[in-house]
């Protein structure tokens, strides 16, 4: 299970970095979103990946970390999802305003013809 999560984090990070280096602003926004997804998955996986573990204590068990899943990474990821949604919406508004002012969607404001 850990190797699948590690490969997913690596694929999201690699794709996000590749899209960040593209010349168009929409591709940069998608790259930032992929990087935020990779970061969220990384934070979530730091809370120990456990199968069939309840999020709360069961009756008759002691209060050790062996019997429950850590809720802090889940709360951090939930907060990060909300923040990244707001950030993406703001970037899209800035993208539309920039496209209206400059007439192009390139990051540097100039379109090169190759």
Domains defined along the chain, listed by start = 2-50+69-102 (1.10.287)
Does the structure show a pLDDT above 80 at 48?
A: no
Region of 14 please: left (phi>0), alpha (psi -120 to 50) or beta: alpha
State the pLDDT confidence band at 105, using cuts at 50, 70 and 90: confident
Largest CA distance in the chain: 70
For the chain, give the mean pLDDT. Answer: 84
3-state secondary structure of 68: coil
- Whole-structure pTM value: 0.76
Residue corresponding to tokens 């998608």: 30
Res 1: pLDDT = 77
């Amino acid at each position: 299970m850990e190797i699948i999560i590690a490969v997913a984090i690596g694929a999201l990070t690699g794709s996000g970095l590749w899209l960040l280096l593209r010349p168009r602003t929409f591709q940069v926004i998608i790259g930032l979103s992929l990087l935020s997804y990779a970061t969220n998955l990384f934070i979530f996986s730091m809370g120990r990946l456990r199968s069939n573990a309840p999020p709360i204590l069961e009756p008759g068990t002691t209060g050790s970390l062996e019997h429950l899943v850590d809720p802090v990474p889940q709360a951090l990821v939930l907060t990060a999802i909300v923040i990244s949604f707001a950030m993406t919406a703001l970037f899209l508004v800035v993208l539309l305003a920039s496209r209206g002012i400059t007439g192009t969607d390139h990051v540097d404001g100039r379109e090169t013809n190759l």
